A = this chain, B = another copy of it.
């Protein structure tokens, strides 16, 4: 096991530079046995002092990444396997893929079937689901907050926050969300904050508010399977827009779709750490995307639940920040992955459709539980949560890098993988001829659960891909599981097992 390499900006410079090199090793850009730059090169390249350069190299050595050879220099030590090429860019010359009727009816069943198989199996290593385990959260603090709230507001659980009380949206929660949104450039009045059960309910409400059965919804390709399910459950049809692993949804392809598809009523986008690719959409793209949807009168439904996980010093600007007047962006955010999975607390603002969203929410599930709202309002701005989130991000980063190393070491030659700048998973592309459905079944029989590529599209285009969760520590058991997966994949492709 390698020691974790922290990247928190509050950390010393030498540690941050070390983390960059560790990342290069993780994706195979620096291979085992390769010579590290000399101390002088490091000083020049990073414009640092001698002591910083030395500290950096010794830190990597102590962490097990390098070995020092007397009088020669530092060498990459850990067996990294071969280099991995980054995820492939989409082929924009291909026509945009819509879901035909057959797929439309089938995807929900296909996904449900896979989920059900995963549920029923006796799983010892779960690399399929992307919810961080309980151990990564500070439950002591959350429980204290609950106790405090019930002490201060003893009738909280028996208050029906009904009609007179703002449709179940607690004013403290609304205030907290509006303040938070403002900090990322979004102006939302507290009264226009609608509490939701996680993000799924928010996106489902948004879609139901703006589209009618038979209408088209543009989604990223590949996309989160939950979105494909909700689109189908509302009797809408998806139009899959190619997505770059670096920059997200192709604006050009979407533009073309608007020109040819009059029933295209909504676009659903995860602009930061797109699920499953981990892409971050550049600000210039965001501005164009908002302008494009506004020009076509379409709803741009933004899922901003992963923005919190971006590992950067720069402020992260949601799409909604570009939606200055027309209100075409519907903003959705949930805290189940970042604050407390058990609370399932989220919120949304429906932009120009907010009234309709409110009406639908009220008709279909009435009020959202109050306790969760108050816990989130209390916790979100706190220093304890800031520290806890920073720790969570660091841990996820270590785990992503660790998983990438295991993929590089054990997976077939020709496997591709980009290390995303944050988030909970890796998107792994295997060579043509590989079947992730077959791997899913074979692995499940051995107690290992993965998410096969076919779950992330109606198009059947990602059969050779799979999503690996990076939510669990890279333990010896995980190493063993990746070795097993890699050997199965190699066998499928007629390669010899590696690592």
Min CB gap A127→B, angstroms: 12
Cβ contact of A363, chosen from B156, B213, B229, B375, cutoff 8 A: B229
**In the bound complex, CA of A371 to CA of B363 (Å):** 24
Question: Most chain-B Cβ atoms within 10 A of its Cβ — which of A140, A342, A359, A449?
Answer: A342
Min CB gap A143→B, angstroms: 5
Q: Does A98 lie at the interface of the complex (its beta carbon under 8 Å from any beta carbon of B)? A: no
* Chain B residues within 8 Å of A134, by CB: 155, 158-160
Q: Does A344 lie at the interface of the complex (its beta carbon under 8 Å from any beta carbon of B)? A: yes
Q: Does A233 lie at the interface of the complex (its beta carbon under 8 Å from any beta carbon of B)? A: yes
Question: Most chain-B Cβ atoms within 10 A of its Cβ — which of A150, A163, A167?
Answer: A163
Q: Does A162 lie at the interface of the complex (its beta carbon under 8 Å from any beta carbon of B)? A: yes
Q: Mark out the residues of chain A between 149 and 185 whose CB falls within 8 Å of any chain B CB in the assembled complex.
A: 150, 154-164, 166-167
0/1 interface trace, chain A 207-234, chain B, CB 8 Å (1 if under): 0100011000000000000100110110
0/1 interface trace, chain A 317-348, chain B, CB 8 Å (1 if under): 00000000000000000001100111110000
Instruction: Knowing A146-B150, A150-B146, A360-B233, say if A137 contacts B158 (CB, 8 Å).
Output: yes
Cβ contact of A131, chosen from B157, B160, B359, B365, cutoff 8 A: B160
| B364–A233 touching, CB < 8 Å | yes
* Chain B residues within 8 Å of A212, by CB: 213, 235
Min CB gap A365→B, angstroms: 4
| A143–B137 touching, CB < 8 Å | no
Which residue of B has the minimal Cβ distance to A370? B342
Which residue of B has the minimal Cβ distance to A233? B363
Q: How many copies does the complex hold?
A: 2
* Chain B residues within 8 Å of A142, by CB: 157-158
**In the bound complex, CA of A336 to CA of B365 (Å):** 13
**In the bound complex, CA of A449 to CA of B156 (Å):** 24
Question: Most chain-B Cβ atoms within 10 A of its Cβ — which of A197, A370, A375?
Answer: A197
Min CB gap A372→B, angstroms: 7
Q: Does A274 lie at the interface of the complex (its beta carbon under 8 Å from any beta carbon of B)? A: no
The count of chain A contact residues (Cβ–Cβ below 8 Å) is: 70
Decide if the interface of chain A is mainly helix, strand, loop or mixed: helix
| B154–A364 touching, CB < 8 Å | no
Which residue of B has the minimal Cβ distance to A343? B157
* Chain B residues within 8 Å of A366, by CB: 197-198, 200-201, 226, 344
Q: Mark out the residues of chain A between 102 and 147 whose CB falls within 8 Å of any chain B CB in the assembled complex.
A: 108, 112, 115, 118-119, 123, 126, 128-129, 131-132, 134-135, 137, 139-140, 142-143, 146-147
| B364–A201 touching, CB < 8 Å | yes
Q: Does A415 lie at the interface of the complex (its beta carbon under 8 Å from any beta carbon of B)? A: no
**In the bound complex, CA of A344 to CA of B131 (Å):** 24
**In the bound complex, CA of A233 to CA of B204 (Å):** 13
* Chain B residues within 8 Å of A167, by CB: 119
* Chain B residues within 8 Å of A201, by CB: 364-366
* Chain B residues within 8 Å of A458, by CB: none
* Chain B residues within 8 Å of A375, by CB: 157
| B150–A143 touching, CB < 8 Å | yes
* Chain B residues within 8 Å of A132, by CB: 160
4 closest Cβ pairs, A-B complex: A160-B341, A131-B160, A229-B363, A137-B158
A sample of 19 inter-chain contacts (CB < 8 A) reads A115-B163, A123-B164, A126-B164, A134-B160, A157-B340, A157-B343, A158-B340, A158-B342, A159-B341, A160-B337, A197-B197, A198-B365, A198-B366, A200-B364, A201-B365, A212-B235, A230-B364, A233-B360, A369-B369
